[in-house]
Amino acid sequence: MKKWILAVAISAALAGCASKPDNGLPDGVELIESVQVEAGAVGIPYNKYRLANGLTVVLHQDKSDPLVHVDVTYHVGSGRELPGRSGFAHLFEHMMFQGSQNVADEQHFKVVTESGGTLNGTTNTDRTNYFETVPSNQLEKMLWLESDRMGFFLPALTSEKFEVQRETVKNERAQRIDNQPYGRMYERFNQAMYPAGHPYSWPVIGWPEDLNRAKLEDVKAFFQRWYGPNNATLTIGGDFDELQTLAWVNKYFGEIPRGPEVEALPKSPVKLDKDRYLSMEDKVHLPLIRMALPTVYASHEDEAALDLLANILGGGQTSLMYKNLVKEGYAVQANVSHPCRELSCELSFVALANPAKGGSLKDTEQRIRASIAEFERRGVTDADLEKVKVQFEANTIFGLESVRGKVSTLAANETFYGDPNKIASDLQRYASVTKADVQRVFNKYVKGKPMVVMSVVPEGARSLIAAKDNYKAPAPLVAKEAVAGEIEVEEAESSFDRSIMPASGNAPTLNVPTLWRDTLGNGIAVLGTQNLETPTTEIVIYLAGGHRLADVRRAGVASLTAAMLNESSQRRTSEELAQALELLGATVEFSASEYQSEIKVSALTEKLDQTLAVLKEKLQTPGFKKEDFARVKQQALQVLKHSQSNPDYLAETGFARLLYGKDNALGVDVSGTIESVSALTLQDIKAFYTAQYRAGNAQIVAVSSAPQSKLIKSLSALNSWKGIASPIPELGKLPVLEGGTIYVLDKPGAAQSVISIGKLAMPFDATGEYFKAGLMNYPLGGAFNSRINLNLREDKGYTYGARSRFRGGLETGQFVASASVRSDVTAKAVTEFLKEISGYRDGGIRADELEFMRSSISQGQALDYETPYQKAGFMRMIQRYKLSDDFTAEQDKIVSHIQKSQIDALARKHLNIHEMVILVVGDKASISQELKALGYPVKDLAL
């Protein structure tokens, strides 16, 4: 590790900073600093510029893939809002996608998607960002889009757009908070942690009453106050010409006037007078306790030591919380974290109590406090310190695998600290933490300090709370005047015609990974590629079988076996193995899915051999200890019971049950059922291990900075792994669907209904009817601006998002259209779904939709192979389905030449709603009557 730290320090010292370049920069563009990174060092090279209007521009060159990632971060989040006007920053994020003076309604999504790109925006307490990843020839177009909404947003702002997005945000809140287990916990908790009026005392998404109170004038004033170029950072990473990019940036952004000056918010430390207990009942199975105390703020000199303290207390299988709560079976999950925001940080303890041990949160709290006391007694060990430092360094390196990750890091560091180059200083400050530092921050911020303690218990189970409530949060403040009238801001004027969208540049050359093939000594096929962008290795071992290999009566055995392989070996305990991997900065994870079991290995390449030695030990000599099995099985059962409160899980499993039947493996979730998992024995695990984890079932995909010869030499450690392939059982008989039937799965009191409409369809293929059906579906429900989403989300305001898709497996597949909608519009939403599907089937694809699909799909390939896991996924597709290395060229031909008549024929064949079933997961009492009024048979479904 030390050589990495040293290299970063040297590169930072050698990095030159200039202020007045003479290299032909556009007028008004000033180079602030230039940072280079020495070969082998950890960091992100960049140049930082500033325009005359205050816009900061950070450019990072990465020629490895023909794409660019553009990020515009505004230094405004929910913490800048006024009391009584919560949710404005997030609401405004939505508004910024609704067009501007020269960009029509919905055009932002359409232009980016048609360019083969992806886009989104996010809001947190401290900042709002908007970003696009596109092929490199689309960069000028992205700068046109972003600059138009920065400088010319208000002329396009209308009451109609405002109302639609207000409804969309309400739907988002209903879906993500009101209709989710523990959804309201965080906002209730923050009210107790932070005093009324504190910037973090209200939720980012806002209070519902504040959203209802908002006016169009408030939104306008919010934009004028915070969305000036002097409060923004434009960060671009990828494959581009720097001088040309600066010329474009200056052209499109340089004429936008400065906004009001923005001062940094004062740090807002919080002090608690005593332990604050509060509780709530929720539609959950697992009692949850969250305890937290305030500490410092992001970038504080004690932040690093507190982060390491959190890791020691509850950062995985070697932590005290894991040992005392999870290992002993008192908690299903337990962790400690130290999340930091611009104004404050918290040391947070979270545990899900195990009902099988009583589920008492009072007992859980005592065990958490006992773990804190144990740390005080034993102090910090050398191993503690080493593992967390290695993990931080490894996580930093893995975070550099994508352009988006690097751009996000640069943007955040510039926005909050004025220093994009914080990787070097961060590595140094974490590497410098001593045992004494960790003990000191424990004594200063944790020992004997009061906490907020929140209990979330199942409805009717208040006896499980940690303690009687002694704190009630005051009502949120409401300012007398939310805004002080319209803010005077100079209007932007343009010296050129901004209504003309820039043309695309020349199409970039796709960098399809160069693949190599090899075979291990035991016959395992390896498909690999070399990736020199980071000194890392990603390996995935796929074993044919998975959930399908097991008898449906033993559903869940594949997942439970994988969980057991994540535990102890015959030689070492789970904790010893976990520590060995932590000290390597590596991960080895076993999992299972429908058709295969997987082993994922992530390692620094220089530590690969040691990592594979741990893999071999876990794979070939599993411990299968009785005590591990009892704990893992109990955890699986409690998670299954908890899943019954999740509407999305109910919709997914209920729809599979309708399509495939309960006696077919595909009709039962990979995690099994409560009945099937309860019946599993350790002998079942051993039997499945014997059948599944054989070399004959395995294939390997590898993406590594190491060349083929070195990687194969490392993988030869697995040559002793033997065994022939196991036959997969015959697929069970599929049920005959009662097309046109509505099934209702009751979730009493649900704030939303989850709708799934669909039928059985084709298995996967890369260039045949399945692939072409996916092209057909794209304008219907495969893109943001598809017919279904524009209708249900943008026009009707029923949902946060709606879509349709074909999903294909090895043996069969399905078509499904789905959305979570407001409970009061359930029947109307079903009607609109059916109208859009039938209308598309009857009327066919429009000419503009056909061209949109062609452009979006074909250009989007530039984004497909960037990260190691993207490369691994691409390679696995080739390996699993025996495709040619250039199968994407055949796909390109299909996309370019498919005709309207072919698309329409596929729609007529696959989109007959009379062949489809409709599943609604929601409050039966409130939705059944209107569903029956639709005229379809309505039946109850029980899982």
Q: What are phi and psi of 813, to 5 degrees?
A: -160, -170
**715 with 698: CB under 8 angstroms?**
no
**516 contact partners, CB below 8 Å, separation of at least 6:** 527, 528, 529, 708
79-88 tens-digit pLDDT: 999 888 899 8
Handedness of CA 191, 195, 196, 199 (dihedral sign): negative
830-872 tens-digit pLDDT: 999 999 999 999 999 999 999 999 999 988 777 777 788 788 8
Answer yes or no: is pLDDT of 25 > 60. yes
Distance CA 465, CA 453 (A): 10
Answer yes or no: is pLDDT of 18 > 90. no
Crossing angle between the packed helical segments 769-777 and 887-897, to the nearest 10 degrees: 50
Q: From residue 395, how far is each of 37, 219, 237, 813 by CA, in Å?
A: 18, 39, 20, 37
- Rounded to an integer, the average pLDDT of 287-305 is 96
Rounded to an integer, what is the distance from CA 811 to the centroid of its chain? 29
**Binning pLDDT at 50, 70 and 90, where does residue 533 land?**
confident
Find the largest Cα–Cα distance for the chain: 77
**Binning pLDDT at 50, 70 and 90, where does residue 20 land?**
very low
- Rounded to an integer, the average pLDDT of 61-86 is 92
Q: From residue 865, how far is each of 221, 268, 335, 510, 829 by CA, in Å?
A: 42, 43, 34, 9, 37
**Binning pLDDT at 50, 70 and 90, where does residue 600 land?**
very high
**Binning pLDDT at 50, 70 and 90, where does residue 24 land?**
confident
Distance CA 916, CA 935 (A): 15
Q: What is the mean pLDDT of the chain?
A: 92
What pLDDT score does 480 carry? 57
> Is 63 exposed, middle or buried, given 0-12, 13-18 or 19+ CB atoms closer than 10 A?
exposed
CATH T-level fold of 2-171+204-253:
Cytochrome Bc1 Complex; Chain A, domain 1 (3.30.830)
**Binning pLDDT at 50, 70 and 90, where does residue 618 land?**
very high
569's tokens: 């070996």
Distance CA 786, CA 784 (A): 5
Does the fold of domain 276-397+426-464 match that of domain 2-171+204-253?
yes
Q: Between these two residues, 298 and 867, which has the higher pLDDT value?
A: 298
- Rounded to an integer, the average pLDDT of 343-371 is 97
Residue found under tokens 């040309």 = 244
What pLDDT score does 57 carry? 98
547-566 tens-digit pLDDT: 999 999 999 999 999 999 99
Report the DSSP beta bridge partners of residue 538. 602, 703
Answer yes or no: is pLDDT of 604 > 80. yes
Q: Shortest CA distance to 367 belongs to which of 339, 337, 327, 338?
A: 327
So where are the chain's domains?
2-171+204-253, 276-397+426-464, 516-718, 742-871+881-940
What pLDDT score does 571 carry? 96
Q: What are phi and psi of 933, to 5 degrees?
A: -70, -15
429-485 tens-digit pLDDT: 999 999 999 999 999 999 999 999 999 999 999 999 999 999 998 888 776 554 545
Sheet holding 516-519, edge to edge: 516-519, 525-530, 698-704, 536-544, 596-604, 587-592
Rounded to an integer, what is the distance from CA 507 to the centroid of its chain? 30
What pLDDT score does 943 carry? 86
Answer yes or no: is pLDDT of 342 > 50. yes
What pLDDT score does 259 carry? 94
744-759 tens-digit pLDDT: 999 999 989 999 999 9
**Binning pLDDT at 50, 70 and 90, where does residue 7 land?**
very low
645-687 tens-digit pLDDT: 999 999 999 999 999 999 999 999 999 999 999 999 999 999 9
Answer yes or no: is pLDDT of 902 > 70. yes
Share of the chain above pLDDT 70, in %: 97
Question: CATH classification of 516-718 is 3.30.830.10, yes or no?
Answer: yes
Q: What are phi and psi of 600, to 5 degrees?
A: -105, 130
Alpha helices in 174-302 (DSSP H): 185-193, 208-213, 216-226, 242-253
- Rounded to an integer, the average pLDDT of 96-100 is 89
SS3 of 572, please? coil
- Rounded to an integer, the average pLDDT of 792-806 is 94
What pLDDT score does 793 carry? 93
Q: What are phi and psi of 800, to 5 degrees?
A: -80, -25
What is 276-397+426-464's CATH superfamily? Metalloenzyme, LuxS/M16 peptidase-like (3.30.830.10)
- Rounded to an integer, the average pLDDT of 199-222 is 89
What pLDDT score does 481 carry? 56
- Rounded to an integer, the average pLDDT of 498-512 is 85
Sheet holding 118-123, edge to edge: 29-35, 46-51, 56-61, 232-238, 67-74, 128-135, 118-123
Q: Between these two residues, 592 and 862, which has the higher pLDDT value?
A: 592
Answer yes or no: is pLDDT of 881 > 50. yes
**Binning pLDDT at 50, 70 and 90, where does residue 6 land?**
very low
CATH class (in words) of the domain with range 742-871+881-940? alpha beta
What pLDDT score does 106 carry? 81
What pLDDT score does 675 carry? 96
State the pTM of this model: 0.90
